[in-house]
Structure 1
C-alpha cells in the first residue's frame, strides 16, 4: 500500500467520523479520480433498506457532479462500529452492487479491501470475475 492509499483510507475515515449517525450513516468512502482529486461520501440509510445508497455510490456521484471525472484510480470504504461494538473504524469490502458500479465506471479501478491483518489493494476486475455485460458488449 502506498502513501496515497493510506491518505485515501484517512479521507474515508474522516468522512464517516464527522458524519456518523448510528443506524443511518455508518460507512464512509473515498475515491481518487484519475486526475488525482479525492472525493468522499457516506452511505444514506433508509427505513426501507432497498432505497439505501452505499457510500461508494455517493462518492462516485459526487466525483461526476463536482469534478466531471468519471475515472476511478482507487476507491475505499470504511465502516464505523456501532456504539456497543468493539473495535475501530476499519476498511470493508464493497458490496456486490458497488463492485458492479465501480466496474461500470472504471474497469481498471484499484480497490482497497481488508487483508490478513492489514488493508490491501486489488482491482475491481479481481473482485468481480465474469462481470455482467449487456448484449454483445
Structure 2
C-alpha cells in the first residue's frame, strides 16, 4: 500500500465516525508528518453551530498531541458532486504547520479527485514566518 493509499484509507475510516447529526455532511481528514506518522480527524458538530470542529482541525490536534509539528501531506475526504476542500479557517490552520508547496489531496468515496498545493488554496498566505522573521 502506498503512503497516499494509507492516507486515503485513514481519511475514509475516520469520515465514517464523524458526528454530523445536523448537516449530515461527514468529513474526514488524514495527514502525514515528514517521518511518516499518520493522524486523522473528523468533523464534530454541535447544536450551537459555531462550536463545531472541522476534520482538519481534529487531525492537526492529534498530530500536536503526539508531538508532531509539520504536515507533509493531507487528504480531505467528503462526499457529493463538488470538491470538499478545506474551509478558509482550516486552510490557515494547515498553513501554521505546512509549507506553501505542501500537497492537499481532495477525495471522495471513490478516490482522490484533485490535488492542490497549499499555495493554490491559500495564495500569499500569512504564516509563522511573518512573525518569526521580524
**Normalising TM by the smaller chain, what interval?**
0.7 to 0.9
1:31-110 aligned at under 5 Å gives the runs: 31-66=31-66, 68-79=67-78, 92-107=84-99, 108-110=101-103
Q: Which ranges in structure 2 are unaligned for 5 or more consecutive residues? A: none
Q: Which ranges in structure 1 are unaligned for 5 or more consecutive residues? A: 82-86
* Alpha-carbon displacement from aligned partner over 1:68-111 (angstroms, at most 9, x marks no partner): 11110111221257xxxxx8xx9621111100110111124210
Match of 1:29 in 2: 29
Aligned pair count reads 127
RMSD between superposed Cα atoms in Å: 3.0
CA distance in 2, matches of 1:121, 1:80: 16
Distance 1:41 1:20, change over 3 A: same
Match of 2:9 in 1: 10
Matched-pair contact (CA < 8 Å) for 1:8–1:32 = yes
Q: Secondary structure at the match of 2:16?
A: helix
Matched-pair contact (CA < 8 Å) for 2:77–2:107 = no
Q: Secondary structure at the match of 1:40?
A: strand
Match of 2:104 in 1: 111
The more displaced of 95-104 and 3-12 is 3-12
